[in-house]
Amino acid sequence: MTAATSRLKPLGPLPTNVRGAQRTLDELWAQTDIETRAYTGNIIALTEPHYQGRIQEALTGLEGRYAGRQIIAVMQPSASGRMSIDAELVPQQGLYIERLTLLANPGQLRGAILPLLRPATVNHVWWASDDPPGGPLLRELTEIADQVIADSLRLDIPPARQYALADLGWSRSAAWREALAQLFDSKDAASVLGQVTRLKVWSGGKNDRAARLYAAWVACTLGWKDLSAVTFVRGDCERQHGDLCGVELSGPGVRFTLKATGKEGVRSTVKFGTANRQTSMMVPSMTLAEGLGRVMARPERGSVFEAAWTLARASLAEAAPESQ
Amino acid sequence: MAKKTPTKRPAPEAAAKPPKPSTTAKRAAAKPQPVSSTLIESDDVLPGAAGHQPPVKAARSKKAAPEAAPAKTRRRGKAADPLLTPAEQATSDQPGADQISAQTLLPDGDNNPFRTGMRRSRAPEPATLVIFGATGDLARRKLLPAVFGLWQDGLLGSAFNIVGVGRQEMTDEQFKDYAIEALNTSKETDTPHPGSLEKFRELLYYEFGDFGADDVYERVKTQLDEAEDAHGGRKNALFYLSTPPSLFEPISNGLGRLGLQDQSEGWRRIIIEKPFGRDLASARHLNDTLHAVWNESQVYRIDHYLGKETVQNLMAIRFGNAIFEPLWNRAYVDHIQITNAEDLGLEGRAGYYEEAGVVRDMLQNHLMQVVALTAMEPPAAFDADAIRDEKVKALRAIKRIPIERVAEVAVRGQYGPGTLDGEHVPGYREEPNVQPGSVTPTYVAVKYEIDNWRWQGVPFYVRSGKRLPKKVTEIAVVFKRPPLGLFPGGLERNVLAFRIQPDEGVSLKFSSKTPGQENQLREVVMDFRYDAFGAQLESPYSRLLLDAMVGDATLFPREDEVDQAWQIVSGILEAWDAASPNAVPAPEFPNYDAGTWGPDAADKLLGPDRRWRRL
């Protein structure tokens, strides 16, 4: 257990090594008045030097203590010397979490991470890198992962049954899925869903992968075989980059639209038959930490996500190959 | 009581012109950019996802920084939708230029396929929350913050309104001010996002009147009509009776007279706050009164204990793990202890407490629910009826306590002056507005025996009191001693304890060898605290309100549960009621000092070889 006063001070970092990491952490724990600890899991974040700060910030900002031990493995292909490992205790929501930060080339990291895991708990592996997720290191870690968090549409490793695949883009669009579902909680609206033939999705950011997953979810739900009826449009709204800006389902005589208004609001327009409704709803934006927390809170396999992922992935394969 | 002229929500004007497109929409329309599958630019990729991540914003915490800016009035009258401009508002729900011809409805169109596989299987449909007693203490401190939190998190859907109803004369604007002030001062309010309070303010309306007359219900009905006009959908309504119990009957009847319980135009549900009756007869009368208007499926009796995460965790740990349930019976369990200790005194609630006492305040409702959850058999499914069926079966199996058994199985107490936290505190009879010779019990300890196969011979000891040394609520499963002592020293019992509050969690006490040459055993405690997850716990009212909105009654006691609970305590109430012809004279009160663990007689209740846990 790590609960203590709400004004905890960070302890460390102290340099250590793979064999001495647990001892170093114990020395840091000894500086606290905390006698018992609860282990809720490990998260291994594989990242690059220029993302290290953001990854640390996201991990510190998690609202839940889903992983009591955080291992940030900074992949530096050019590193040729000794691997550096720092150990620290970081306050998070009035609790301490253990953080080990490794800086090494991917080859060195391969043998270093497994011994550092807190045993017999849930393991989250987060590919937090620009490169498409893959390679021997990630492949090795998927063997012990309960959950792999990655830009899933670029995943270079076939999904396996022993871990759940998660995507922060999917996670962060949860409120948009909820908003769209709310439009069809009214039975009269649900009854005309069969007339929807087109989907348009507006997204921020510079790629459409989160939008593609969202569209695939809609398409799966409506029984579409592919995304040929989907149009992706670069949106321009006040919401965070990577978030959606709008969705429109349409067809003969029906139109259902969600459009971002401000940073948290969405305006809905529903038109079918004699119905012409406009209203608004809260669709909270999710920060990286919130999205991460959401997927970590429940690392279960998601059949709905997997179906959407399969369709979205297939749509990419049918399109022109990406330039990396 | 003066009538208030109903103010109409803005009347939608004929939609001769389409809504003004937003900047975003205009840009999108002017320059559509289908990006299909080729738009991949890795320098803006969020690690692990698509997009880009700005700095992490401050974590949302309870009441970290209340919004200081006073809320502004956006428009007069009944604004239906705070995020819409008046022009957009005006075009809503009117057949306009792009009117669409009627479509043939699909035969299977009742289901919403987008709900398949979602975490919440259902979100509330567009609905109006009608709070009777909206200016009362409970609404101000608990309900409004809970509703605001749900709304801000996007959990209440697109078309949601709150109608506060009270006897106090107040305009909509005054009520909006009142509610925002309540949100700004309650410790339970989530940190508002910028602008959220102003938007939430626009969802609030107020009606007032005499609860015994029809006028106020007519105005509530008008509110539901207007909500439907503004948002479409149906006239769904949840009526929350956050009022003194004496008003439950007139309000329920008043709603019934106006047909507001009728579900032909949308679902209608009613939440009844505790206390649900003051004895078995009054509870049955209240049930009969409610059922004259409402079906049981429409009645939600709220017990906020069931909304607590750790109370729900009791079921999760029992039925979500394989290792506990095999031990959860008379073969391994010696007895169960349930403790609810409060360090506070009356806190200005003498009027209520003098009438209620500890049995009605805690034992009959909250603690009976905890007993039922501890004793129940595994339900066939995790749904309202399956769970409540099992709870009722457990309650029915509790051996009744007729008046002649009360002295044998129950102990009462009343605190006298004492010391708490180093401060002198007065005795119960010295509290403001308490009768000098009051015999109202502030402490109860009772032994329940459950006559079923699982629990035969395993007593459930339950104690609750005010002005005890600390605030703590826990359920302790005390196991039998090992059958054979291989090691020197006495054999201790294992204890699995569920702490409901504070420091929610679970601990297991067991014996371990101490370091050294001898095989000396010592008790140690393995502790799991719920805050290991590090997440903020939601308000019980938040969970229960949302459940009621989506029609999930799992965490609401059913009629027969409440009836059984009253049956179990009826003998105790009768014996301890000074006005009852069968009253058993009270012991010499006060019989425990404030700041102690209750009267000595409570220790004797456990019998030899058992003692209350030292908490």
Is pLDDT of B386 > 90? yes
The residue of chain B nearest to residue A292, with distances taken between CA atoms, is: B48
Phi-psi region of B489 (alpha: psi -120 to 50; beta: other; left: phi over 0): left
**Sequence-separated contacts (24+) of B111-114 with Cβ below 8 Å:** B111/A190, B112/A181, B112/A184, B112/A185, B112/A190, B113/A184, B113/A190, B113/A193, B113/A221, B113/A222, B114/A177, B114/A180, B114/A181, B114/A184, B114/A218, B114/A221
The mean per-residue pLDDT over the stretch A18-36 comes to 88
- Could you tell me if A79 and A114 lie in one domain? yes
pLDDT, residue B247, reads 94
Give pLDDT tens digits for B505-528: 899 999 888 888 888 888 888 888
- Could you tell me if A134 and A255 lie in one domain? no
Tokens of B389: 């069926």
A309 occurs within a structural domain:
no
Domain boundary among A166, A194, A220: A166
Closest in A195, A276, A289 to B94, CB measured: A276
Cβ distance A280 to B158 less than 8 Å, yes or no, reads yes
Please tell me the total count of domains within chain A.
Answer: 2
Strand partners, B127: B160, B236
In three-state secondary structure terms, B271 is strand
Closest in A277, A284, A289 to B231, CB measured: A277
CA distance B357 to B498: 26
Is pLDDT of B3 > 80? no
Confidence of residue B32 (pLDDT cuts 50, 70, 90): very low
Q: 3-state SS of B61-130?
A: CECCCCCCCCCCCCCCCCCCCCCCCHHHHHHCCCCCCCCCCCCCCCCCCCCCHHHCCCCCCCCCCCEEEE
A291 occurs within a structural domain:
no
Is pLDDT of B73 > 60? no
Which residues lie closer than 8 Å to B191 by C-beta, 6 or more apart? Answer: B60, B61, B62, B63, B64, B65, B66
Domain boundary among A109, A142, A166: A166
Q: Which is catalytic among the residues B231, B304, B335, B366?
A: B366
Looking up tokens 């459940």 gives B547
CB < 8 Å to B81, chain A: 278-280
Element (H, E) at B181: helix B172-185
CA distance B7 to B5: 6
Confidence of residue B529 (pLDDT cuts 50, 70, 90): confident
Strand partners, A43: A70, A124
pLDDT, residue B432, reads 94
Q: Are B190 and B148 in contact (CB under 8 A)?
A: yes
- Could you tell me if A199 and A234 lie in one domain? yes
Calculate the average pLDDT of chain B: 81
Is pLDDT of B69 > 60? no
A83 occurs within a structural domain:
yes
CA distance B239 to B314: 30
A322 occurs within a structural domain:
no
Q: How far is A178 from chain B (nearest CA, A)?
A: 8
Phi, psi angles (nearest 5°) of residue A26? -60, -35
Is pLDDT of A222 > 90? yes
Is pLDDT of B84 > 60? no
pLDDT, residue A100, reads 96
Tokens of B415: 């605190």
A302 occurs within a structural domain:
no
Cβ distance A320 to B528 less than 8 Å, yes or no, reads no
Is pLDDT of B187 > 70? yes
Is pLDDT of B27 > 50? no
A92 occurs within a structural domain:
yes
Phi, psi angles (nearest 5°) of residue B32? -65, 135
Is pLDDT of B282 > 60? yes
Confidence of residue A84 (pLDDT cuts 50, 70, 90): very high
CA distance B550 to B587: 48
The residue of chain A nearest to residue B228, with distances taken between CA atoms, is: A277
What's the complex ipTM?
A: 0.84
Give pLDDT tens digits for A264-305: 888 999 999 988 888 878 888 888 888 898 888 876 667 888
Is pLDDT of A55 > 80? yes
CB < 8 Å to B53, chain A: 54, 58, 240-242, 287-288
Give pLDDT tens digits for A157-191: 666 667 888 898 888 888 899 899 988 887 888 99
CA distance B394 to B450: 8
Calculate what percentage of chain A has a pLDDT beyond 70: 92
| For the ranges A309-313, B316-320, B390-394, B553-557, the one whose mean pLDDT is highest | B390-394
Please, what are the domains in chain B?
122-273 (3.40.50.720), 306-540+558-605 (3.30.360.10)
Amino acid at B513: K
Tokens of A209: 């992968």
Rg of chain B over all Cα atoms, to the nearest angstrom: 28
Q: Of B261, B262, B265, B258, which Cα lies nearest the Cα of B234?
A: B265
Closest in A128, A185, A269 to B48, CB measured: A128
CB < 8 Å to B36, chain A: 208, 232, 319
* Angstrom distances, CA of residue B355 to CA of B147, B349, B358: 31, 10, 10
Calculate what percentage of chain B has a pLDDT beyond 70: 80
In three-state secondary structure terms, B497 is strand
CA distance B230 to B90: 10
Q: How far is B48 from chain A (nearest CA, A)?
A: 4
The residue of chain A nearest to residue B535, with distances taken between CA atoms, is: A64
CA distance B594 to B427: 7
Element (H, E) at A21: helix A21-30
Confidence of residue B122 (pLDDT cuts 50, 70, 90): low
Q: Are B82 and B202 in contact (CB under 8 A)?
A: yes
Would you state the torsion angle of the CA atoms of residues B119, B123, B129, B131, taken in this order, to the nearest 10 degrees? -20
The pairing of beta strand A275-282 with beta strand A265-272: antiparallel
* Angstrom distances, CA of residue B103 to CA of A251, B91, B106, B189: 11, 21, 9, 45
Residue B422, judged by CB atoms within 10 A of its CB (0-12, 13-18, 19+), counts as: exposed
Within 229-258 of B, beta carbons closer than 8 Å to A belong to 231-234
CB < 8 Å to B105, chain A: 188, 191-192
- Could you tell me if A160 and A47 lie in one domain? yes
Across A34-44, b (16+ Cβ under 10 Å) vs e yields beebbbbbbbb
The pairing of beta strand B236-241 with beta strand B127-132: parallel
Which residues lie closer than 8 Å to A43 by C-beta, 6 or more apart? Answer: A59, A66, A67, A69, A70, A71, A123, A124, A125, A126, A296
Handedness of CA B46, B51, B54, B60 (dihedral sign): negative
Is pLDDT of B105 > 60? no
Amino acid at B310: T
Calculate what percentage of chain A has a pLDDT beyond 90: 40
Q: 3-state SS of A239-285?
A: CCCCCEEEEEEEECCEEEEEEEECCCEEEEEEEECCEEEEEEEECCC
Phi, psi angles (nearest 5°) of residue B34? -60, 125
Within 470-529 of B, beta carbons closer than 8 Å to A belong to 503, 527-529
CA distance B613 to B615: 6
Transcribe B239-269 into DSSP letters.
EEE-S-GGGHHHHHHHHHHTTTT--TTS-EE
Q: How far is A153 from chain B (nearest CA, A)?
A: 9
The mean per-residue pLDDT over the stretch B286-302 comes to 96
B366 belongs to the catalytic site: yes
Tokens of B229: 């006009």
Amino acid at B104: T
Which residues lie closer than 8 Å to B435 by C-beta, 6 or more apart? Answer: B354, B429
Transcribe B24-61 into DSSP letters.
HHHHHHHS--B-TTT---GGGPPTTSSS---PPPPPP-
Closest in B42, B59, B532 to A38, CB measured: B532
The residue of chain B nearest to residue A217, with distances taken between CA atoms, is: B114
Q: Give the strand order in the sheet containing A230-234.
A: A230-234, A198-203, A244-251, A254-261, A265-272, A275-282
pLDDT, residue B382, reads 86
Would an 8 Å CB–CB cutoff place B12 in contact with chain A? no
- Could you tell me if A74 and A178 lie in one domain? no
A310 occurs within a structural domain:
no
Would an 8 Å CB–CB cutoff place B48 in contact with chain A? yes
CA distance B10 to B365: 45
CA distance B157 to A163: 33
Cβ distance A63 to B91 less than 8 Å, yes or no, reads no
Q: How far is B412 from chain A (nearest CA, A)?
A: 37
Cβ distance B50 to A297 less than 8 Å, yes or no, reads no
Most A CBs within 10 A among B31, B42, B63, B158, hence the mutation to make, goes to: B158
Which residues lie closer than 8 Å to B593 by C-beta, 6 or more apart? Answer: B415, B416, B417, B418, B419
Would an 8 Å CB–CB cutoff place B114 in contact with chain A? yes
Cβ distance B531 to A3 less than 8 Å, yes or no, reads yes
The residue of chain B nearest to residue A129, with distances taken between CA atoms, is: B47
Domain boundary among A166, A184, A204: A166
- Could you tell me if A110 and A224 lie in one domain? no
pLDDT, residue B564, reads 97
Is pLDDT of B80 > 60? no
- Could you tell me if A110 and A243 lie in one domain? no
The mean per-residue pLDDT over the stretch A229-253 comes to 89
- Could you tell me if A104 and A240 lie in one domain? no
Cis (ω within 30 of 0) for the bond into B515?
Answer: no
- The single-letter DSSP state of residue B473 is E
Calculate what percentage of chain B has a pLDDT beyond 90: 57
CB < 8 Å to A287, chain B: 53-54, 56-57
CA distance B22 to B28: 10
Within 530-569 of B, beta carbons closer than 8 Å to A belong to 531-536
> Could you tell me the residue range of the domain that residue A146 belongs to?
11-166
CA distance B446 to B464: 9
Phi-psi region of A253 (alpha: psi -120 to 50; beta: other; left: phi over 0): left
Closest in B48, B118, B195 to A126, CB measured: B48
The mean per-residue pLDDT over the stretch B253-273 comes to 95
pLDDT, residue A36, reads 64
Is pLDDT of B41 > 80? no
pLDDT, residue B94, reads 39
A298 occurs within a structural domain:
no
Confidence of residue A1 (pLDDT cuts 50, 70, 90): very low
Would an 8 Å CB–CB cutoff place B292 in contact with chain A? no
CA distance B540 to B562: 20
Looking up tokens 């503004």 gives B230
Would an 8 Å CB–CB cutoff place B29 in contact with chain A? no
Residue B611, judged by CB atoms within 10 A of its CB (0-12, 13-18, 19+), counts as: exposed
Confidence of residue B40 (pLDDT cuts 50, 70, 90): very low
- Could you tell me if A78 and A143 lie in one domain? yes
Calculate the average pLDDT of chain A: 86
pLDDT, residue A300, reads 61
- Could you tell me if A197 and A234 lie in one domain? yes
- Could you tell me if A126 and A216 lie in one domain? no
CB < 8 Å to A52, chain B: none
Most B CBs within 10 A among A44, A118, A170, A182, hence the mutation to make, goes to: A182
- Could you tell me if A180 and A143 lie in one domain? no
Confidence of residue B388 (pLDDT cuts 50, 70, 90): very high
Transcribe A124-171 into DSSP letters.
EEEEESSSPS-HHHHHHHHTT-SEEES-GGG--S---TTSEEE-HHHH
Phi, psi angles (nearest 5°) of residue A300? -100, 160
The pairing of beta strand A11-16 with beta strand B472-479: unpaired
Around Cβ A57, how many Cβ atoms within 10 Å? Answer: 15
